[in-house]
Chains A and B, each alone.
Chain A
Amino acid sequence: MIVIDKLCYQSKLRYENAGEKFAFAVLTLLICVVSRSIAVAGIVLAVTGTLTVAKGGVPVLRYLKFLTIPLAFLFLSTAAILFHISRTPMDLFAIPLGGWYLTTSMSSLHYAVQLILTALSAVSCLYFLSFTTPMTDILEVLRRLHCPKLLIELMLLIYRFIFVLLDTASAITTSQHCRLGNRDYKTALKSFGLLGSALMLRAVTRSNRLYTAMEARCYDDTIRVLSENHPPKKSVIAAIVLFDSALIALAIWSKYLI
């Protein structure tokens, strides 16, 4: 997650209008999930992958590595759909196990592939967004979409303090290691517990201090901040509309007309 955060600040697409990127990612994701078409999913995977890697400048290997993270979960969950144990063999293949068969039908293979591709393409849409758009820009889009203020303020503070607490945690861990806090399994467990309680206390003091500092700057229960805008480009909007309409057309065609 920290890697994604670093990469998105370096992305070449970072200064594109956040609304465009958000709309592209979310619309495309919706089309993928609703249509569940293998063709649509394949195209989306290719397009978002190319955009993130070629246009955004994320290293290919790193991107592929990130794609394999959900893959492991997907394979595990689709195994249950793919394999059946039954008394009668099915059409794709059947391995006899005593009086039973470990067997798969053509249709469940198709279903599994469809599921994996749909999920993967949906993830690639989200990756596109998170690899090119800093969190603060996404929050600005959410604010324009009239997402509840409280939620946005919470996300803003949580996002900032993930990093502060991570720093604190790593400093505490280092100091524990320096004092042989992980000498054996038992001490390591104990140290981890202590780390947890220390972090909790630090988080509480931090939040108090932060509140004090915000109060000192005339905080009156609403966080008002300005964001830097990068104006949307007509050509990009046109491209997004065109691409997503084409996807919808393809989805309808492959579902009803074939």
Chain B
Amino acid sequence: MNTDVILKAQDLFFSYDDGASYALSGLSVDIHRGQKIALMGANGSGKSTFSLCCTGICKPQRGTLYFHGQPVAYDKKSLLALRSKVGIVFQDPDNQLFSASVYQEISFGILNLGVSEQQARDEVEAVIGALEITPFRDKPTHALSGGQKKLVSIADILVMHPEIIILDEPSAALDPKHTQMVNRIVAQMTEAGITVIMATHDVDYAYAWADEVILFHEGKVLLHGAPDVVFSDHDALHKTNLHPPTVLSLFERLCNKGVLSPDLPCPRDLDTLENYLTDAMHK
């Protein structure tokens, strides 16, 4: 982790009910620029609240959030500046799409950045092309399928060119085809230099995709590290209602049986594991 810290949370406390219970209770974490970060944890462990804190929607009662090393201020101007750099794609597109027209919907965010109309039009067209929204751009949003709505809600944020994109369970309720499309778009975001934070319950995907995994537990970070380290910690996984990724499980079992050597680096995907096995068979 030699990249610079873009977002830093220090000892955040947040309560939705005036201190009766805490959604975040002393959360500290560093987010590094350009990384692919998976936020994992049981329901109610604080992932969504943390995401909302990152854009200044939830103001922590205690603790400080730093963006590019500067403590986040909560006056209107600073908040707008923060939100133009940190975007959230919400889990349910129906809570995000406010206009019946796809074109209007996507143009909202970029116009709020104060760019000229012509530039906004160009940006909207570009993102519509890049995300393959063209076939349904003329449909009203209420006539779109769940997957199409998801693509529009991602376009909503991408058009603003944020430095960090937070995706809240992007593939929840999507069919495999749209899940793949979303995953491809996420990969393109990373290529474009965007720091991607994804809240997800899909351990297999997180294991294959992420550079870092942050395990949330009761409003705190339980474990933060490389996927193979985090997912090898069975106690931590058990605490957070997670299972180890299938590939990793199988690898461990094969190591225990002596089929594979435990000295091999942990395989991230099925293909690597297959190669290990083929090599082992040839020996």
A221-236 CB contacts (< 8 Å) to partner B:
223-228
> When A135-B100, A226-B104 are in contact, do A220 and B112 touch as well, CB less than 8 Å?
yes
Whether the pair B107, A225 counts as a contact (CB closer than 8 A) is yes
Whether the pair A134, B87 counts as a contact (CB closer than 8 A) is no
A149 at the interface (CB under 8 A from B): no
Task: Select the stretch in A31-39, A44-52, A86-94, A156-164 that faces chain B.
Answer: A156-164
> When A159-B100, A216-B87 are in contact, do A224 and B108 touch as well, CB less than 8 Å?
yes
B134-178 CB contacts (< 8 Å) to partner A:
138-143, 156-157, 160
Query: Complex: how many Å from CA A5 to CA B92?
Result: 24
Whether the pair B104, A225 counts as a contact (CB closer than 8 A) is yes
Contacts of B97 in A (CB 8 A): 160
Query: Complex: how many Å from CA A167 to CA B92?
Result: 14
A212 at the interface (CB under 8 A from B): yes
B126 at the interface (CB under 8 A from A): no
Question: Which B residue sits closest to A153, measured CB to CB?
Answer: B98
Contacts of B98 in A (CB 8 A): 156-157, 160, 210, 213-214, 223
> When A134-B100, A160-B98, A226-B107 are in contact, do A216 and B140 touch as well, CB less than 8 Å?
no
Query: Complex: how many Å from CA A212 to CA B48?
Result: 12
A61 to chain B, nearest CB (A): 23
Question: Which B residue sits closest to A207, measured CB to CB?
Answer: B95
Whether the pair B156, A136 counts as a contact (CB closer than 8 A) is no
Query: Complex: how many Å from CA A135 to CA B120?
Result: 22
Query: Complex: how many Å from CA A42 to CA B165?
Result: 59
Question: Which A residue sits closest to B52, measured CB to CB?
Answer: A212
Question: Which B residue sits closest to A168, measured CB to CB?
Answer: B94
> When A164-B94, A213-B90, A216-B83 are in contact, do A134 and B55 touch as well, CB less than 8 Å?
no
User: Which secondary structure characterizes the binding site on chain B?
Assistant: helix
Contacts of A164 in B (CB 8 A): 94, 142
A217 at the interface (CB under 8 A from B): yes
Whether the pair A218, B83 counts as a contact (CB closer than 8 A) is yes
B215 at the interface (CB under 8 A from A): no
Whether the pair B140, A218 counts as a contact (CB closer than 8 A) is no
Question: Which A residue sits closest to B91, measured CB to CB?
Answer: A209
B273 to chain A, nearest CB (A): 39
B122 to chain A, nearest CB (A): 11
The residue among B80, B117, B140 with the most chain A CB atoms within 10 A of its own CB is B140
Query: Complex: how many Å from CA A163 to CA B101?
Result: 13
A206 at the interface (CB under 8 A from B): yes
Whether the pair B99, A225 counts as a contact (CB closer than 8 A) is yes
Contacts of A5 in B (CB 8 A): 140
Question: Which B residue sits closest to A215, measured CB to CB?
Answer: B57
Whether the pair B156, A134 counts as a contact (CB closer than 8 A) is no
Whether the pair B142, A163 counts as a contact (CB closer than 8 A) is yes
Question: Which A residue sits closest to B103, measured CB to CB?
Answer: A228
Query: Complex: how many Å from CA A226 to CA B117?
Result: 8
Number of interface residues of B (CB under 8 A): 41
Whether the pair A9, B139 counts as a contact (CB closer than 8 A) is yes
A75 at the interface (CB under 8 A from B): no
B266 at the interface (CB under 8 A from A): no
B74 to chain A, nearest CB (A): 12
A219 at the interface (CB under 8 A from B): yes
Query: Complex: how many Å from CA A134 to CA B102?
Result: 12
Whether the pair B140, A134 counts as a contact (CB closer than 8 A) is yes
A172 to chain B, nearest CB (A): 15
Whether the pair B101, A212 counts as a contact (CB closer than 8 A) is no
Contacts of A210 in B (CB 8 A): 95-96, 98
Contacts of A167 in B (CB 8 A): 94, 142
* 8 Å CB contact of A9 from B99, B103, B104, B143: B143
A200-258 CB contacts (< 8 Å) to partner B:
206, 209-210, 212-220, 223-228
B121 at the interface (CB under 8 A from A): yes
Q: 1/0 per residue A138-165: CB within 8 Å of B?
A: 0000000000000000001101100110
Whether the pair A136, B100 counts as a contact (CB closer than 8 A) is yes
B210 to chain A, nearest CB (A): 23
Contacts of B142 in A (CB 8 A): 160, 163-164, 167
B84 at the interface (CB under 8 A from A): yes
Whether the pair A224, B140 counts as a contact (CB closer than 8 A) is no
Interfacial residues, chain B to chain A (CB-CB below 8 A): 52, 55, 57, 76, 80, 83-84, 87-88, 90, 92, 94-101, 103-105, 107-109, 111-113, 117, 120-121, 124, 138-143, 156-157, 160
Known A-B contacts: A167-B94, A218-B84, A227-B101. Give 14 more (CB < 8 A).
Answer: A136-B101, A156-B100, A160-B141, A210-B98, A214-B98, A215-B83, A216-B90, A217-B112, A217-B157, A218-B109, A218-B113, A219-B112, A224-B107, A227-B103
15 A-B contacts (beta carbon < 8 Å): A5-B140, A136-B140, A160-B99, A164-B142, A167-B142, A209-B90, A209-B95, A210-B95, A213-B90, A217-B112, A217-B160, A219-B108, A220-B112, A223-B108, A225-B104
